[in-house]
Chains A and B, each alone.
Chain A
Amino acid sequence: MNLKISALEYVQEVKTGNISAEDFVAKTIERIQNVDDKLNAFLTVNETSVDQAREIDKKIKSGYKVGDCFGMPISIKDNICIKDSKTTCASKMLENYISPYDATVISKLKQQDAIFVGKVNMDEFAMGLTTEFSAYGPSKNPWNNDYVPGGSSGGSAVSVSAFECVASLGSDTGGSVRNPASFCSTVGYKPTYGLISRYGLISYANSIEQIGPLTRTVKDTAFMLNMIAGLDSNDNTTIDNKNEDYLSGIESGIEGKKIGIIKEMIGEGIDPKILSATKNAISKLENLGAICEEISLDMVKYSVAAYYTITATEAGSNLARFDNLRYGYDFPLEGYEFNSYISKARCNFGPEVTRRLIIGGFVPSTGHAGKYFSKALKVKMKLTKEIDKIFKKFDLLVAPTVPILPFKLGEKIDDPVSLFLVDINTVTANLTGKPSISVPFANSNGLPIGIQLMADSLNDKLLLQAGYALEQTVSLPEVPL
């Protein structure tokens, strides 16, 4: 059985009866058992997946209405809640936490008869760029096991890229879906802020993060978006997308579209291979009829500092609830006083999370009033103004997703600022709320390179059309697994 098919191909095959959901899911589970020891993408595997698939086959046979997914195996980043399942955020703090409710995206996919084959690895509480900060060990890049898969949705990207599932849902706060997608050669999507409900996504930086799909093709992403996007009464920050159909018209092309090349994202420090891939992508876009022109977003150079200041502040608050009193891990409270107990319990956070919490206590504090947090917010405001102005003249923006090639495990783990800067091309979309996609574009000595496109708020449909168009211009090698 061929596992190397896209989501839409899977659905087609099952619909027409060429394959059964049970067979495919069984093969998927087998695949996970074969390769995941090496890759460490999965934290938990759903033992009942094959049984669920069998039920769906029964439904199909008896002519009952089946959801659009037809039993498609999907992996879920372990910061998205599935009812009665462990949700750990790759942290020891939530070692045994079982969520009593489903995230909205999970309910929606359940209704569409998706099968969640497992929860996948991530940087602890989504703070990181390489999955090396997971409390359960890093995931490995399927293209070269000595290299990082990117992060924080590393497990998502690995599981899709290594055919351990057909699609995945991750979360993107500063590039956490796009970055691993680029490093593992999959499509990674961060929607307009508010397009997808965050109810059930364990918050890291709630004012800028979004759940996003990782898939093999751009059409697959549009397919996922159709099922999970839309207004949700459980999330006051969701916006009305008027039930947009993201798949229809996806092949419309980009003739005549104006695309801005963000100069600050191809500047100093960019790997020459990435630069040449970007130039190649630009000429491909021009061949498709787009008009490409260099533009400047001055605030980009402050965007990383602003991003880490804002996210540390929000994380400091969002993670305050983890005091081990209502849920968490086993740690008896007899003999302790309240503050000493929770301070000790919170030692179970990993070192990176602890660092961010320290920063998060520092930067908004009254002692340093106005210096960091307030300035960061103002940078966010100004960057948004700048990009809004650009989008009055341009339809899309282009840049490489990551300015450097995937690097080796352990290479950047001791240098926080150097690690920060891996994000420089992706945080802008989060800070401004604009939708952004990473499309696998090139491969340099076996290391994947992704190209990033951005569109104006709620122009997700156009963005997907552009992503599809770009995707069709290349034919990439298969992952060596």
Chain B
Amino acid sequence: MVTEEEIKKVAKLMRIDIDDYIEYVDKVHAMINYFDILDSAGVEDEEISMPEIPISNLREDKHIPFDQKLIEKLNHYKGTYVRAPKMSS
């Protein structure tokens, strides 16, 4: 059961302001409900793994500066710092 309270909490966690929580409750509830089907998959014993590569495939430790002044392409404010809002104390 997905409550409005839970949606509020998660929206905060994901940093998204939602105007109308009620609108989301139903759809999110339907989606999460559907996921309950996973309970009957019988996969408790499966082990998680990922593809492996040898350490020799990894990038060589070399300093190669990026070929452009990247900060100029992203942000035109205040010198070259990126500006962010004040942090709450």
Contact = CB atoms under 8 A, between A and B. Distances in A.
Contacts of A309: 35, 38
Interface string A407-424: 000000000110010000
Interface in B59-89: 59, 68, 70, 73-75, 82-88
A378 B40 CA distance: 12
B41 A299 contact: yes
Given A236-B53, A299-B41, A338 B85 contact: yes
Given A344-B17, A346-B17, A365-B10, A379 B38 contact: yes
Contacts of B5: none
Given A323-B15, A378-B41, A382-B41, A362 B32 contact: yes
A306 interface: yes
Nearest to B36: A305
B36 to A, nearest CB: 8
B30 interface: yes
B14 interface: yes
A350 to B, nearest CB: 11
B85 A336 contact: yes
A341 B35 contact: no
A308 B47 contact: no
Given A100-B74, A233-B59, A308-B35, A382 B46 contact: yes
B32 to A, nearest CB: 7
B19 to A, nearest CB: 8
Contacts, number: 142
B41 A417 contact: no
A429 to B, nearest CB: 16
B1 interface: no
B85 A378 contact: no
A193 B3 CA distance: 38
Interface string B28-46: 1011101101111101101
A338 B84 contact: yes
* Closest 8 pairs (CB-CB, A-B): A378-B43, A378-B46, A361-B10, A375-B38, A361-B14, A341-B85, A100-B73, A381-B46
Given A362-B28, A381-B46, 7 more contacts: A100-B73, A236-B53, A301-B37, A347-B17, A354-B18, A376-B38, A417-B30
29 contacts: A233-B59, A237-B51, A299-B41, A301-B37, A302-B37, A304-B34, A308-B35, A316-B14, A325-B84, A326-B82, A336-B86, A338-B87, A342-B15, A343-B16, A346-B15, A347-B16, A347-B17, A349-B16, A355-B24, A355-B31, A358-B28, A362-B28, A372-B38, A378-B41, A378-B48, A379-B38, A379-B41, A381-B43, A381-B48
